[in-house]
């Protein structure tokens, strides 16, 4: 099993995604919270979302060096190789006069350069012979071989008798007024304080030969890098101590020349000479995985085990740093249900049994309780009751409640229509049961379900918090407060991710932690209760994602349990890539300060311009992009960065996108106030920033111009009304003249409409009969194929299976050919052309024979045809095909172990087709009914008797093609049907 370390997310930035150049010389943070980068192509400002480059300063050469100056005094300086000076103040970059006192100290014929940073690359200025470091107690001069000290620049130097070479400066750092020089050869540390030398002879990481020291005088930060581990040096009680930050594999090969640790946002910045900037987010989340080859890391239910671990039914014990087996793996069981019985045994389930892993044998052995004929979907435990959801064949869910922990004695049983997902005690005698169709209140003494509410809400899990309140989560329907039978839906977050909430857990600070399919939410319980009491309309959700160090944003729910609280204070959630461990108190929610939002830049078209306190626009202004500068280094959804335009038609708060930009467009002239707000704490406290917006109207937007336009429009309308009145009078006279003529035309039209109505009714009947006919024609082949498929499934005889497969293939092929012609079939009943080109009748007969051949053979029926190839007809092939299809279908359907003969003969202008069978035959009253129906001239008689649809359709088509059909009994048994076709002359 592998050791799992603290998770840190890493994001590289280079010329591909934000940087103008890949050499980041130095990194610093100003007093306003913005990060500044010195590169060989200029200075960049980073606010957590964008890298902003200002190209307005006049330096001809941008090969910038390190940052000097004072952060507290808002005066950060940097110089290039040509000693051009650039100053950062008030969040802006400006040229400044070069003042060499920032980095040089003249002394007679010598010039000492200020030593303010030791680089990880170990590179020093080749043209420098002397360095100095100034503290509050004096100045130390390093002459490559000697070390001098003076109280100030006017006092004489004193040799301290300590030979220090430039190569030792790479191990120097300063805390307060004390200078420390690590000596990795002698494994000791030299301390310079108030002009005196002392030693710390204790070997430590500072003076370890494999350690590297990075010190930056302006930021005051000191890092010690030892075997890819990075430590931050802090000063406590007069001694330097190291605090571990993170591990960075192969840091020595990355050519980093600058480091910066942002304490406010717990991020580490690495500036590289070749690769750009790497921002590493340090995390308090730990993801533990089993690392078994070919096994996924998807985790579900687990139970606390000891003080700092959870155990799963697979037999794996997880801590935040490792995973190990404690009993043989059980990978085939349902991982969503796990509980302890009264003796501490592990209980989980299979499809039809409940397994118990015995604590007394350290879970090496197990026994089970089997429920024959029942499918167990889930098991639950609430207080002293054990429960199982068992699903029957009708998908009814039976909640069995057991009074003992061996599941042998059933106390109650309740039946539900939908799946049971959660069960919890409401009080001593009542249970809440959450199902896919809402909540149920169950009474144990009455042994019945007494209430069903929250219908159509798929309940996932019901949770009770320490104050006795109930909550429940759902399948993609949000999360709810539950009080008796009153449910209240809590609002969603800005991106709607909490709609897929899984479960809820409460930490020691009364915060709710809610897992979901997309992130882990944290929200103060008080904020939720204030919302329920209508004291606030907003809930300040804080969503943790991969940016905060999670391996995966997707957590898992629908399991019992879905979260665990360990004795050591850790909270454990299952996710798609292992179990996530963390101590809630150590997971920070990051918010900007109240004074850290700045509205100073805007863009109109392609023109950038500053905002000097208010926004002035003309009435015909183009859309204006207003940039919101806020040094915030996580997702802005967690601080609810919003804006609204007061005094406008739409004063609703709008959430700003990730680029932190607000767009003004389509605003009428007038005076407005643009208000921005953002959260500054988890309590839901907002900070506000207001910017006046003045839109000056153009001449055509003034009130006077609008009044003149309205008056002119009134005059135009009055004139148009006058013209319209005259026109209507003339029109009325003409209408009266035409009225009598139109009355006559309407009578004629009425007669035509009646005719059309009758025709449409006939077409509607045709369409209805068409659908019935198609359904009738394909029923027998499809039923036959179904029967053969059933026989294949029941036999192991390969010859029979092959025979059945051949029959299915042939029947399917013919059925496919039949359905290919359904377009013509759909036009059949409305078809007026009953004659067309001649075709051989034998082809049509053989086609229908082939379609029913396999079905007939399965019924022991032999199909015979006798049709001379010389017989041809021009009667519509589709119509005649349906007639033959239905007659042969009926013959096959009512004949078993017999014969069917299909013959045709030609005598003059008449063709006679005969279909006879040796089946059970037709009753006399049926023959009489169909014969009478065939001779009737009225189509309304077609459905008077329920003798089947097929022959009714046949008779209707026979009439349409002007043929004659006769029905007779076949001798000695069966049915004989003859059709006389009359050819067109």
State how far the Cα of 418 lies from the Cα of 400, in Å rounded to an integer.
15
State how far the Cα of 936 lies from the Cα of 931, in Å rounded to an integer.
9
Q: Band of the pLDDT at 781, cuts 50, 70, 90?
A: low
Structure-block tokens of residue 127:
């043209």
- Note whether 975 and 836 are same-domain residues: yes
Per-residue pLDDT averaged across 597-618, rounded?
91
Q: Is the pLDDT of residue 128 over 80?
A: no
Residue 186 within any structural domain of the chain: no
Residue 964 within any structural domain of the chain: yes
Per-residue pLDDT averaged across 326-332, rounded?
73
pLDDT tens-digit series, residues 701-747: 677 878 888 989 999 999 999 898 988 888 888 888 788 777 777 77
pLDDT reported for residue 164? 87
Q: Band of the pLDDT at 430, cuts 50, 70, 90?
A: very high
Peptide bond into 972 cis (omega under 30): yes
Closest CA to 440 of 491, 494, 399, 492: 399
- Lowest-pLDDT range, 72-81, 185-194, 709-718? 72-81
What is the bridge-based pairing of β-strands 598-604 and 564-565?
unpaired
CATH number, domain of 916, equals 3.30.565.10
State how far the Cα of 393 lies from the Cα of 189, in Å rounded to an integer.
79
Structure-block tokens of residue 105:
């100290």
921 close to 975: Cβ distance less than 8 angstroms: yes
Q: Is the pLDDT of residue 774 over 70?
A: no
Q: Band of the pLDDT at 828, cuts 50, 70, 90?
A: low
pLDDT reported for residue 783? 73
Domain boundary among 665, 700, 735: 700
113 close to 124: Cβ distance less than 8 angstroms: no
Residue 23 within any structural domain of the chain: no
pLDDT reported for residue 821? 45
Chain position carrying tokens 């979302």: 49
Q: Band of the pLDDT at 765, cuts 50, 70, 90?
A: low
More confident of the two residues 568 and 335: 568
Distance of CA 732 to the CA centre of its chain: 66
pLDDT tens-digit series, residues 902-915: 999 988 788 999 99
Cβ-based neighbour number of residue 678 at 10 Å: 24
More confident of the two residues 299 and 945: 299
Residue 668 within any structural domain of the chain: yes
Q: Band of the pLDDT at 331, cuts 50, 70, 90?
A: low
pLDDT reported for residue 584? 97
- The range of the structural domain enclosing residue 654 comes to 598-678+690-700
pLDDT tens-digit series, residues 144-161: 888 999 998 888 989 999
Q: Band of the pLDDT at 4, cuts 50, 70, 90?
A: very low
pLDDT tens-digit series, residues 5-14: 456 788 999 9
Per-residue pLDDT averaged across 521-544, rounded?
95
Domain boundary among 700, 730, 762: 700
898 close to 952: Cβ distance less than 8 angstroms: no
- Note whether 834 and 695 are same-domain residues: no
- Lowest-pLDDT range, 83-97, 497-511, 658-672? 83-97
- Note whether 840 and 695 are same-domain residues: no
State how far the Cα of 766 lies from the Cα of 749, in Å rounded to an integer.
26
Distance of CA 75 to the CA centre of its chain: 45
Q: Is the pLDDT of residue 835 over 90?
A: no
CB-side neighbour CA atoms (13 Å) of 431: 28
Q: Band of the pLDDT at 472, cuts 50, 70, 90?
A: very high
Residue 642 within any structural domain of the chain: yes
Q: What is the mean pLDDT of the chain?
A: 87
The most distant pair of C-alpha atoms in the chain lies apart, rounded to whole Å, by 144
Residues 6+ apart with CB under 8 A from 46: 34, 35, 36, 37, 52
pLDDT tens-digit series, residues 224-248: 999 999 999 999 988 999 999 999 9
pLDDT reported for residue 126? 55
State how far the Cα of 386 lies from the Cα of 423, in Å rounded to an integer.
10
pLDDT reported for residue 127? 62
What is the bridge-based pairing of β-strands 385-391 and 375-382?
antiparallel
Q: Is the pLDDT of residue 274 over 80?
A: yes
CA angle 763–766–770, rounded 5-degree value: 140
Per-residue pLDDT averaged across 463-482, rounded?
97
Q: Is the pLDDT of residue 944 over 50?
A: no
Question: How many domains in the chain?
Answer: 2
State how far the Cα of 390 lies from the Cα of 377, in Å rounded to an integer.
6
pLDDT reported for residue 40? 83
Residues 6+ apart with CB under 8 A from 892: 780, 852, 855, 856, 859, 861, 900
- Lowest-pLDDT range, 295-299, 574-578, 638-642, 911-915? 295-299
DSSP annotation of 456 reads T
pLDDT reported for residue 148? 92
Domain boundary among 637, 670, 700: 700
pLDDT reported for residue 64? 76
Closest CA to 966 of 903, 914, 890, 924: 914
278 close to 272: Cβ distance less than 8 angstroms: yes
More confident of the two residues 190 and 737: 190
Q: What are phi and psi of 887, to 5 degrees?
A: -65, -45
Structure-block tokens of residue 132:
């100095």
Residue 388 within any structural domain of the chain: no
Residue 328 within any structural domain of the chain: no
CB-side neighbour CA atoms (13 Å) of 427: 5
pLDDT reported for residue 759? 56
What is the bridge-based pairing of β-strands 239-247 and 256-262?
unpaired
Q: Band of the pLDDT at 845, cuts 50, 70, 90?
A: very high
Q: Is the pLDDT of residue 82 over 70?
A: no
Q: Is the pLDDT of residue 335 over 50?
A: yes
Structure-block tokens of residue 239:
């001694």
Per-residue pLDDT averaged across 271-289, rounded?
93
Q: Is the pLDDT of residue 173 over 80?
A: yes
287 close to 580: Cβ distance less than 8 angstroms: yes
Q: What percent of the chain has pLDDT over 90?
A: 57
Per-residue pLDDT averaged across 81-108, rounded?
77
State how far the Cα of 410 lies from the Cα of 401, in Å rounded to an integer.
6
CATH number, domain of 671, equals 2.60.40.10
867 close to 842: Cβ distance less than 8 angstroms: yes
Q: Is the pLDDT of residue 465 over 90?
A: yes
pLDDT reported for residue 151? 93
State how far the Cα of 520 lies from the Cα of 508, in Å rounded to an integer.
17
Phi-psi region of 238 (alpha: psi -120 to 50; beta: other; left: phi over 0): left
Residue 87 within any structural domain of the chain: no
pLDDT reported for residue 923? 87
Q: Is the pLDDT of residue 805 over 80?
A: no
- Note whether 696 and 839 are same-domain residues: no
pLDDT reported for residue 440? 97
């Amino acid at each position: 099993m592998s050791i799992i370390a603290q998770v840190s997310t890493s994001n590289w930035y280079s010329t591909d995604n934000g940087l103008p150049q890949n050499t980041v010389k130095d990194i610093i943070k100003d007093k306003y919270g913005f990060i500044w980068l010195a590169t060989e192509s200029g200075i960049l400002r980073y606010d957590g979302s964008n890298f902003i480059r200002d190209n307005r300063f006049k330096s001809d050469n941008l090969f910038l060096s390190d940052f000097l100056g004072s952060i507290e005094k808002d005066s950060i300086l940097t110089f290039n190789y040509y000693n051009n000076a650039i100053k950062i103040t008030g969040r802006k970059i400006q040229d400044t006069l070069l003042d060499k006192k920032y980095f040089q100290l003249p002394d007679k014929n010598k010039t000492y350069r200020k030593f303010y940073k030791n680089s990880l690359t170990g590179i020093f200025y080749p043209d420098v012979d002397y360095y100095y470091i100034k503290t509050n107690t004096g100045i130390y001069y390093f002459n490559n071989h000697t070390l001098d000290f003076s109280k100030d620049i006017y006092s004489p130097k004193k040799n301290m008798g300590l030979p220090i070479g430039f190569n030792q400066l790479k191990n120097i750092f300063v805390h307060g007024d004390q200078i420390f020089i690590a000596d990795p050869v002698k494994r000791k540390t030299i301390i310079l304080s108030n002009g005196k030398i002392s030693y710390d002879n204790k070997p430590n990481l500072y003076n370890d030969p494999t350690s590297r020291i990075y010190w930056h005088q302006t930021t005051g930060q000191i890092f010690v890098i030892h075997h890819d581990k990075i430590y931050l040096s802090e000063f406590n009680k007069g001694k330097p101590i190291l605090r571990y930050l993170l591990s960075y594999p192969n840091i020595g090969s990355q050519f980093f020349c600058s480091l910066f640790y942002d304490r406010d946002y717990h991020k580490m910045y690495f500036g590289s000479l070749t690769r750009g900037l790497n921002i590493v987010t340090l995390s308090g989340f730990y993801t533990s995985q089993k690392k078994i080859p070919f096994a996924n890391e998807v985790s579900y239910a687990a139970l606390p085990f000891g003080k700092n671990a959870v155990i799963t039914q697979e037999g794996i014990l997880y801590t935040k740093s490792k995973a190990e087996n404690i009993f043989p793996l059980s990978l085939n069981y349902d991982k969503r249900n796990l509980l302890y019985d009264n003796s501490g045994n592990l209980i989980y389930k299979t499809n039809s049994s409940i397994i118990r892993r015995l604590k007394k044998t350290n879970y090496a052995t197990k026994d089970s309780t089997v429920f024959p004929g029942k499918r167990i979907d889930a098991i639950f435990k609430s207080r002293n009751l054990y429960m199982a959801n068992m699903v029957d064949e009708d998908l009814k869910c039976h909640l069995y409640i057991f009074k003992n922990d061996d599941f042998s004695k059933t106390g109650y049983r309740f039946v539900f229509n939908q799946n049971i997902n959660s069960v919890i005690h409401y009080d001593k005698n009542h249970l809440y049961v959450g199902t896919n169709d809402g909540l149920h209140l169950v009474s144990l003494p009455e042994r019945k379900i007494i209430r069903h509410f929250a219908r159509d809400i798929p309940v996932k899990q019901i949770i009770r918090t320490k104050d006795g309140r109930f909550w429940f989560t759902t399948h993609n329907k949000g999360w709810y407060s539950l009080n008796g039978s009153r449910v209240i839906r809590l609002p969603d977050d800005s991106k709607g991710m909490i709609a897929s909430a899984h479960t809820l857990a409460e930490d020691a600070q009364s915060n709710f932690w809610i897992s979901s399919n997309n992130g882990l939410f944290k929200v103060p319980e008080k904020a939720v209760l204030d919302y329920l009491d209508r004291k606030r309309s907003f809930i300040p959700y804080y969503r943790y994602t991969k940016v905060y160090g999670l391996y995966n944003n997707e957590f898992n729910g629908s399991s019992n349990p879905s979260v665990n609280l360990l004795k050591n204070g850790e909270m454990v959630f299952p996710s798609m890539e292992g179990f996530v461990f963390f101590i809630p108190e150590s997971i920070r929610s990051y918010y900007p300060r109240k004074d850290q939002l700045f509205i100073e830049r805007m863009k109109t078209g392609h023109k950038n311009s500053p905002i000097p306190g208010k926004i002035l626009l003309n009435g015909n202004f183009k859309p204006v992009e207003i940039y919101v500068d806020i040094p915030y280094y996580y997702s802005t959804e967690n601080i609810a960065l919003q804006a609204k335009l007061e005094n406008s038609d739409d004063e609703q708060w709008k959430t700003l996108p990730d680029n932190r930009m607000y767009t003004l467009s389509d605003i009428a002239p007038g005076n407005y106030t643009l208000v921005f707000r953002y959260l500054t704490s988890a309590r839901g406290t907002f900070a506000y920033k207001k910017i006046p917006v003045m839109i000056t109207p153009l001449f055509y937007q003034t009130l006077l111009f609008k009044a003149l336009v309205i008056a002119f429009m009134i005059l135009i309308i009055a004139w148009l009304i006058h013209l319209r009145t005259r026109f209507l009078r003339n029109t009325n006279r003409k209408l009266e003249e035409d009225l009598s003529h139109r009355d006559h035309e309407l009578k004629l039209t009425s007669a035509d409409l009646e005719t059309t109505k009758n025709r449409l009714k006939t077409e509607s009947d045709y369409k209805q009969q068409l659908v019935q006919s198609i359904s009738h024609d394909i029923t027998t082949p499809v039923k036959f194929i179904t029967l053969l498929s059933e026989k294949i499934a029941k036999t192991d005889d390969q010859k029979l299976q092959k025979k059945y497969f051949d029959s299915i293939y042939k029947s399917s092929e013919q059925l496919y050919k039949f359905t290919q012609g359904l377009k013509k079939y759909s036009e059949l009943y409305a078809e007026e052309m009953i004659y067309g080109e001649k075709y051989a009748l034998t082809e049509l007969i053989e086609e229908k024979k082939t379609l029913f051949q396999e079905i007939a053979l399965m019924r022991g029926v032999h199909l015979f045809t006798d049709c001379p190839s010389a017989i041809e007809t021009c009667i519509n092939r589709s119509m005649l095909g349906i007639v033959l299809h239905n007659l042969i279908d009926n013959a096959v359907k009512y004949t078993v172990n017999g014969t069917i003969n299909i013959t045709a003969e030609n005598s003059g202008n008449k063709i006679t087709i005969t279909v006879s069978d040796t089946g059970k035959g037709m009753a006399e009253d049926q023959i009489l009914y169909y014969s009478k129906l065939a001779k009737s001239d009225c189509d309304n008689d077609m459905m008077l008797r329920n003798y089947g649809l097929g022959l009714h359709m046949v008779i209707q088509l026979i009439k349409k093609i002007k043929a004659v059909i006769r029905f007779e009994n076949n001798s000695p048994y069966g049915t004989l049907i003859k059709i006389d076709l009359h050819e067109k002359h």
